[in-house]
Amino acid sequence: MEILSLISNNGFIVLNKGLIKILGINATIMLGELASEYDYWEKQNNLDEEGYFYSTIENVENNTTIKEKRQRKAINNLKN
């Protein structure tokens, strides 16, 4: 079995190496996680009328291990 197929079997977050260099690891992880959640909710046809979805700090931490303070910093980094 290939190593890549082992680690990407399920529960993975897509990360772009170029974005890691530009945004930093936590912001890139947040972006990948939120993109993954968006895709999930879009496939479930559960985005709101404006195309948004809802996720909690706890949910993101559970999926990424990034704590609240670092999540907020990563989100601010993405906004900037």
* Model confidence band, residue 9 (pLDDT cutoffs 50, 70, 90): low
pLDDT digits (tens, 9 = 90+) for 16-75: 999 999 999 999 999 999 998 999 999 999 999 999 999 999 999 999 999 999 999 999
CA distance 80 to 63: 24
Amino acid 14: pLDDT:
79
* Higher-scoring residue by pLDDT: 11, 21: 21
pLDDT at position 7 is 61
What's the pTM value of the predicted model, to 2 decimals? 0.82
- Which phi-psi region, left, alpha or beta, contains residue 51 (left: φ > 0; alpha: ψ -120 to 50)? left
The band of 10, judged by pLDDT with boundaries at 50, 70 and 90, is low
